[in-house]
Amino acid sequence: MKGNRVALALLLLMGLVGVSCVVSQEKNPPAQHNYAYDQATQQTLQGYVIETKDYNCPISGAVGSHISVKGEGETIEVHLAPASFVKQYEIMIRKGDRVTIVGSRIIFEGKPALIARSVSVGRDTFNFRDLKGRPLW
């Protein structure tokens, strides 16, 4: 009898350990992405704006302003700044504008993208980050 109790206790203990392993695996957070501005991946891109949109963005941590730019051989999404910053400084970038962007290349949602440091439209240059890539907002 005593042997059965010990075996039952061990069986229960093993079951609890197995359940806790499964539960702890389910609570692991998804992999986080590093969307920091990296000067090592900085590049200049020229093209035409084909779309503008604002949405809740993990890069700016707020509702952000974005443009899609058709450059040489690719269309790329450009993360500008929080929409409130763009509105405050009355930054106007429209569909059809020819732009020159200086930004850090990243992969966002499986596609190439840029975190903009500056965007030039005609004679106007809009700065979103300083020379080291730190946000100006």
Q: Is residue 82 within 8 Å of 137, Cβ to Cβ?
A: yes
Return the higher-pLDDT residue of 58 and 95. Answer: 95
Beta-strand ranges (E) seen in the chain are 42-57, 62-70, 75-82, 98-108, 111-121, 124-127
Domain residue ranges of the chain, discontinuous segments joined by +: 1-30, 39-127
**In the predicted model, is pLDDT for residue 20 greater than 50?**
no
pLDDT for the residue 61: 85
Q: Which residues share a beta bridge with 135?
A: 129
Helix (H, G, I), strand (E, B) or coil at 132: coil
Which pair of structure tokens corresponds to residue 34?
């590093």
Q: What global pTM score does this model have?
A: 0.75
What is the model's pLDDT at position 5? 57
| pLDDT tier, 29 (very low <50, low <70, confident <90, very high otherwise) | very low
CA angle 28, 113, 128 (to 5 degrees): 105
Question: Which among 53, 35, 6, 56 is positioned nearest to 103, based on CA atoms?
Answer: 35
Confidence of residue 73 (pLDDT cuts 50, 70, 90): confident
Position 64: which residue type? Answer: G
pLDDT of residue 28: 46
- Chain segment 96-115, per-residue pLDDT in tens: 999 999 999 999 999 999 99
As a whole number, mean pLDDT of residues 52-80 equals 94
pLDDT of residue 120: 98
Topology of the domain covering 39-127: OB fold (Dihydrolipoamide Acetyltransferase, E2P) (2.40.50)
Q: How far out from the chain centre does Cα 32 lie?
A: 10
The pair of three-digit structure tokens given for residue 29, joined into one six-digit string? 């957070």
